[in-house]
Amino acid sequence: MIKRVSVFATGGTIAGIAGSAIARDYRAGQIRIEDYLEQAGGLGLEAELSGRQIANIDSADMGPAVWSDLHPAIMGALADGNCDGVIVTHGTDTLEETAFLLDLTLPATKPVVVVGAMRPADAVGYDGLRNFANAVRVACDSEAAGRGVLVVMGDRVFAARDVRKVRTREVDAFRGFPRESVGLVTPASLDWFGAPWRSDVEARLEWHDDLPDVPILYVYAGMRPDALACMIGDSTRGIVVAGVGEGNMPEPVRQELVRLARKGLVVVRASRTDESLVDREPEDDENGFVAARALGPAKARILLMLLVANGITDPAAIQAAFDNR
């Protein structure tokens, strides 16, 4: 039976054009989804694909304005009995953030796959069509349901909560932490590592268009507490600290964050290291801080924004959400 897959395009390198097969520079988000699906139609994919253009941008410009169009579009597709799965084409720079946001706010009833490319469409060795063909195979697989939002890059399937971009150029630019890939995929095969893990098929958090202001503070040697002043305004509801080591920061910075936490600002300690696990420390209770656990700063920000938007501001409740991410 031919599966029907809805494809929502947002631009990125997968839809980029360089104008030369060997050029280094290119423009992201140049190919429309109709043209892309026409090209993909020549691959012999065993799926009926329909497309909708949500945006056509460099993913460095991704944010709430596009998310507010993308989220209801996917919800509509998931509610459609004629849709078996969803694919989102996306630039790689912020792919992990969009994927995690969708993972938190979508039901896990049907496969949802986010896919991108590291090379533009007219470059020698373009990886986008292979990644897209792999994404179609995953979106058509009934065992992909119940695993939350998935990311397909470089013949690997990653869980949205684990995936991270770790390289700037290579086609194998993505890794997973603390779990590596959860499956291996080619256009002709798909192998899963373990059974679906989502026992809660409903969305874990309600989507809100009005996401709060939550900046990320990148900690560095010799940092002064006045670095916080330009980041925190009247509308700021929380802050994620990309700390050194296991979420650490200079003592004067810590003292200023304690002061802000006692005034109601939610402070989450994450780490600027790549494979970061930040556990709670005894001082966190006294300071009023939250430990990001296995989430890096970018994803910690996504989770914190959604929690605050849903009215969850108590540090203990926020810590429980990070523990159960």
Residues forming the active site: 13
Q: Which residues pair with 248 in a beta bridge?
A: 244
Q: Which residues, listed in sequence order, are joined to residue 51 by a DSSP beta bridge?
A: 7
Tokens of residue 190, six digits: 């798909």
Measured CA distances, 25 to 18, 20, 123, 230, 298 (Å) = 6, 9, 10, 33, 26
Contact between 221 and 247 under an 8 Å Cβ cutoff? The reply is: no
| Spatial CB neighbours of 85, under 8 Å, sequence gap ≥ 6 | 3, 4, 5, 6, 110, 111, 112, 113, 138, 139, 140, 144
Using the structure block, give the residue that is written with the tokens 């597709």: 77
The candidate with the shortest Cα–Cα distance to 128, out of 48, 31, 205, is: 31
Determine the distance from the C-alpha atom of residue 238 to the mean position of all C-alpha atoms in its chain, rounded to a whole number.
19
3-state secondary structure of 63: coil
Six token digits for residue 151 = 């990311």
Q: Which neighbouring-strand residues pair with 32?
A: none
- The CB-side HSE value for 224 (13 A sphere, CA atoms) comes to 4
- Residues 129/136, Cβ–Cβ less than 8 Å: no
Check if the beta carbon of residue 239 is closer than 8 Å to that of residue 265: yes
Residue holding tokens 């892309």?
A: 36
